């Protein structure tokens, strides 16, 4: 096991990093307030010549999420932004239904599992939300009413449907309340024999999309050895970055055990994102 080295702030390691892949929720804001020291840290990093990509498991496409973040005062501190919704939308475009050999590509069909508010993910795609034999499942969250969830998943397995999961996180306890996420549905689908593709962290697709986005935004290529993923979730943020061949900085209390994560990149631990 490679230990996470404690650091006081990003400035301690900024000289070894050219590109920062930064988590959003829990790292830059908590849905009630934005974290000013974290935004200042990103601004300082960019002033020193570094580039920043926000990498989020949100079900909001890029433009929609940028507007949401701007309303929270999170603007001007990143070069590019990629969300799991963007990766999912690209996958849906690639899987557009073709009625018969040689026919023109038709509208994409999909089955959505998750809150209705997440259907912004489908805006502008010409998506038909249905359940034909060719329709993949897009899972953005845990349904409020799961009475028919297993039946829906069993039918999907029988027809060989692929599941695209935007947020592989499973659950979180907040104030004694258990919050359930899309990853819990994905676990159940895999257990039933279904195939799941993670379009959010720690899956590889969102990291590939992040590198493509920053190349478009800056015209620069980045050495993986000088890329740092930062966030507050060990398996998703740190684990995803390390699996992609990057280094990782995990926001975690100064004491307590951290999981053993695969990967050869450098590992850092700090209490919050500060400069």
Residue 154 to residues 82, 147, 151, 162, 190, Cα–Cα distance (Å): 32, 13, 5, 12, 11
Residues 144 and 178 in one domain: yes
Per the listing, tokens 């932004």 go with 81
Q: Within its chain, how far is the Cα of 175 from the centroid?
A: 24
Q: Is the pLDDT of residue 173 over 70?
A: no
Residues 80 and 208 in one domain: yes
Residue 66 domain-assigned (yes or no): yes
Residues 13 and 105 in one domain: no
Q: For the chain, what percent of residues have pLDDT higher than 70? A: 91
Q: Note the pLDDT tens digit of each residue in 31-89.
A: 889 999 999 999 999 999 999 999 999 999 999 999 999 999 999 999 999 999 999 99
Residue 21 domain-assigned (yes or no): yes
Residues 192 and 250 in one domain: no
How many structural domains are present in the chain? 2
Residues 187 and 233 in one domain: no
Q: Note the pLDDT tens digit of each residue in 81-111.
A: 999 999 999 998 886 543 444 444 555 688 9
Residue 89 domain-assigned (yes or no): no
Residues 162 and 193 in one domain: yes
**Owning domain of residue 125:** 96-198
Longest dimension (CA), the chain: 61
């Amino acid at each position: 096991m490679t230990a996470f080295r404690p650091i006081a702030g990003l400035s301690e390691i900024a000289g070894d990093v050219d590109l920062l892949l930064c988590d959003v929720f829990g790292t830059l804001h908590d849905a009630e307030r934005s974290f000013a020291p974290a935004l200042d840290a990103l601004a300082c990093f960019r002033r020193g010549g570094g580039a920043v990509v926000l990498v989020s498991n949100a079900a909001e496409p890029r433009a929609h999420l940028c507007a949401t973040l701007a309303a929270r005062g999170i603007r001007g501190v990143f070069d590019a932004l990629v969300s799991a919704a963007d990766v999912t939308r690209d996958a849906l475009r690639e899987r557009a239904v073709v009625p018969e050999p040689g026919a023109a590509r038709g509208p994409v069909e999909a089955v959505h599992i998750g809150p209705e508010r997440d259907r912004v993910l489908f805006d502008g795609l010409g998506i038909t939300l249905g359940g034909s034999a060719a329709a993949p499942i897009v899972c953005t969250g845990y349904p409020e009413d799961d009475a028919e969830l297993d039946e829906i998943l069993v039918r999907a397995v029988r027809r060989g449907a692929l599941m695209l999961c935007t947020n592989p996180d499973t659950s979180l306890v907040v104030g004694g309340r258990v919050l359930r996420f899309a990853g819990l549905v994905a676990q159940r689908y895999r257990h039933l024999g279904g195939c799941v593709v993670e379009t959010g962290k720690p899956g590889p697709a969102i990291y590939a999309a992040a590198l493509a986005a920053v190349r478009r935004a800056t015209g620069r290529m980045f050495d993986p050895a000088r890329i740092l993923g930062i966030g507050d979730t060990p398996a998703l943020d740190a684990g995803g970055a390390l699996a992609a061949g990057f280094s990782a900085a995990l926001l975690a209390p100064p004491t307590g055990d951290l999981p053993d994560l695969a990967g050869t990149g450098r590992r850092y631990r700090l209490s919050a994102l500060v400069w």
